[in-house]
Amino acid sequence: MGAKEPTLWEVVSKTLDRPLLLVVSAPSGGGKTTLCTRLRAEFPEIAYSVSCTTRAPRGTEQQDVHYHFLSPDEFECRSRSGAFLEQAVVHGNRYGTLRSEVVTALSAGHDVLMDIDVQGAAQIRTAVQVAPAGDLLRRAFVDVFILPPSEAVLQQRLTGRGEDAPETIARRLQNARREMDTWRDYRYVIVNDDLDKAYGQLRSLVLTEHIKVLSDKGCCPGSDLR
């Protein structure tokens, strides 16, 4: 039996000049978690950035799998030491991404997926804009905003969860209006009116970002990649 044909992802990965730091943002109920989960399922090579948070675990969430759950004091201690690549307060809880985890994964050649809010994305965007041209984070950075088709649909999604009180939903909608105003700051915007279509667009842009690197090097998938 002959050798197994490499997948497109394996071919692309062998020729990467740089991995991707894929930052995905959306208002609560925009669907980014579902889309990111599908991307990770299809491409397990992508490292997922596990955020730190001061909020309590929900449902079946596990420590160091879904989040690094920290006490407020521990979070503050790490913040003061400069451990976070980005941090933000969302719905009264603190969230942050450990710089060491992201840099370690990128340095090893792995794409990194970050599912973060607009505050965190803005912090990373500012940091990479002022970084030197050859900086790893700057070269890797790609940001995507997931936009719901309308505020009415977003409200339906939040209400349909059955997880939050009416006042919580109202607060999330108010925050969503502010967050959606930032869509122009992102390199890519995907309108999530159809989940399969939105996922196809997310998948395509990730592959396209890698193919851009291949084009810059004057090669393409399937050529001699030695």
* Residue corresponding to tokens 């071919």: 11
Question: What's the predicted TM-score (pTM) here?
Answer: 0.79
Contact predicate 137/16, CB 8 Å: no
**Residue-wise pLDDT tens for the chain (226 aa)?**
567 776 766 655 555 557 999 999 998 878 898 999 999 999 999 999 999 999 999 889 999 998 999 999 999 999 999 999 999 888 789 999 999 999 999 999 899 999 998 999 999 999 999 988 889 999 899 999 999 888 777 777 777 666 667 777 777 787 888 889 999 999 999 999 999 999 999 999 999 998 775 555 444 434 333 2
- 55 and 93 in contact (C-beta within 8 Å)? yes
How high is the pLDDT of residue 151? 77
Tell which residue, 48, 11, 15, has the closest CA to residue 33: 48
- For the chain, give every domain's residue range: 9-49+110-216
d(CA 79, CA 68): 14
Q: Going by DSSP bridges, is the β-strand pair 112-115/21-25 parallel, antiparallel, or unpaired?
A: parallel
pLDDT of residue 158: 72
Alpha carbon distance 147, 122 (integer Å): 17
Which CATH code is given to the segment(s) 9-49+110-216? Answer: 3.40.50.300
**C-alpha dist (Å) from residue 201 to 28, 79, 99, 194, 197:** 20, 35, 28, 11, 6
H-helix or E-strand containing 34?
Answer: helix 32-42
Identify the DSSP state of 25: E
Dist CA 97 CA 116 (whole Å): 9
pLDDT of residue 118: 92
pLDDT at 168: 75
